[in-house]
């Protein structure tokens, strides 16, 4: 049976992913070392390259799990609100909450860069796209005249705007707002933007 080989390989992969996830959570993406991860996973240094092409691919899998958790958090929060404005605000709040509660993992999601010339694989791009889909539905209610392509563009823009507000506020580069101010500032932003959409169409 070749199943045993498959099981062992899969076991090694998941041990490496878990070890990497843990290291990222505690030390950040920049603190991730191949030697630490393999030691934590209980395998040799070279074993990484039997399970993954390189460290980047391993990181991609950690990010994949983080995206799934983020997606679940958004889904869970959005379920409570039916009206588009309330739903968009709930999504923004959930996004901020996830970023706060999973700082390092969330940062790794956007900090990570592939080697020059190597594109992000399609399966991972697709996982990012799912996030934006959460915004399409409420936006469609606010902008019933728009087609699917335009709606998608607006959803990506709104996502990027919220993402930017959360990102810069959580960075050291700018003097950050107090945590409570950040949340009210973010919610005020979404509220104002929705008001603008309603007033202009």
Interface ranges with DNA (CB under 7 A): 1-5, 8-9, 12, 32-35, 43-51, 54-56
Residues 9-48, one symbol each (x = binds its own copies by CB under 8 A, - = not), give -------------------x-xx-----------------
Residue from 5, 46, 148, 174 binding its own copies (CB under 8 A)? 174
Paired tokens of 172: 């050291």
Is the CB of residue 49 less than 8 Å from the CB of residue 34?
A: no
Is the CB of residue 15 less than 8 Å from the CB of residue 43?
A: yes
Residue from 116, 123, 145, 148 binding its own copies (CB under 8 A)? 116
Q: Which does 9 bind (CB under 5 to 8 A by kind): DNA, its own copies, none?
A: DNA
State the Cα–Cα distance between residues 18 and 93, nearest whole angstrom: 28
Q: Which does 191 bind (CB under 5 to 8 A by kind): its own copies, DNA, none?
A: its own copies
Chain position carrying tokens 């959005």:
78
CB of 124 to DNA, least distance (A): 17
Q: Which does 39 bind (CB under 5 to 8 A by kind): its own copies, DNA, none?
A: none
Burial of 112 (0-12, 13-18, 19+ CB in 10 A): middle
Cα distances (Å, whole numbers) of residue 49 to 12, 19, 184, 191: 11, 15, 46, 48
CB of 171 to its own copies, least distance (A): 8
Burial of 148 (0-12, 13-18, 19+ CB in 10 A): exposed
Residue 54 phi, psi (nearest 5) = -165, -175
CB of 7 to DNA, least distance (A): 8
Q: Which does 5 bind (CB under 5 to 8 A by kind): DNA, its own copies, none?
A: DNA
Q: Is 181 in the site for its own copies (CB under 8 A)?
A: yes
CB of 63 to DNA, least distance (A): 16
């Amino acid at each position: 049976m070749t199943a045993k080989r498959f099981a062992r390989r899969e076991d090694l992969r998941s041990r490496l992913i878990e070890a990497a996830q843990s290291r990222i959570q505690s030390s950040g993406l920049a603190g991730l070392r191949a030697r630490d991860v393999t030691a934590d996973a209980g395998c040799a240094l070279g074993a990484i390259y039997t399970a993954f092409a390189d460290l980047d691919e391993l990181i991609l899998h950690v990010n994949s799990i983080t995206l799934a958790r983020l997606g679940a958090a958004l889904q869970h929060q959005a379920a409570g609100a039916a009206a588009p404005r309330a739903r968009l605000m709930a999504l923004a709040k959930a996004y901020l909450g996830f970023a706060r509660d999973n700082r390092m993992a969330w940062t790794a999601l956007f900090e990570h860069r592939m080697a020059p010339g190597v594109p992000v694989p399609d399966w991972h791009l697709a996982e990012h796209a799912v996030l934006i889909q959460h915004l399409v539905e409420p936006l469609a209610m606010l902008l019933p005249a728009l087609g699917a392509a335009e709606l998608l563009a607006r959803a990506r823009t709104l996502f990027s705007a919220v993402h930017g507000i959360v990102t810069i506020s959580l960075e050291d580069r700018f003097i950050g707002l107090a945590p409570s101010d950040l949340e009210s500032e973010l919610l005020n932003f979404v509220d104002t933007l929705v008001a603008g959409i309603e007033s202009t169409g």
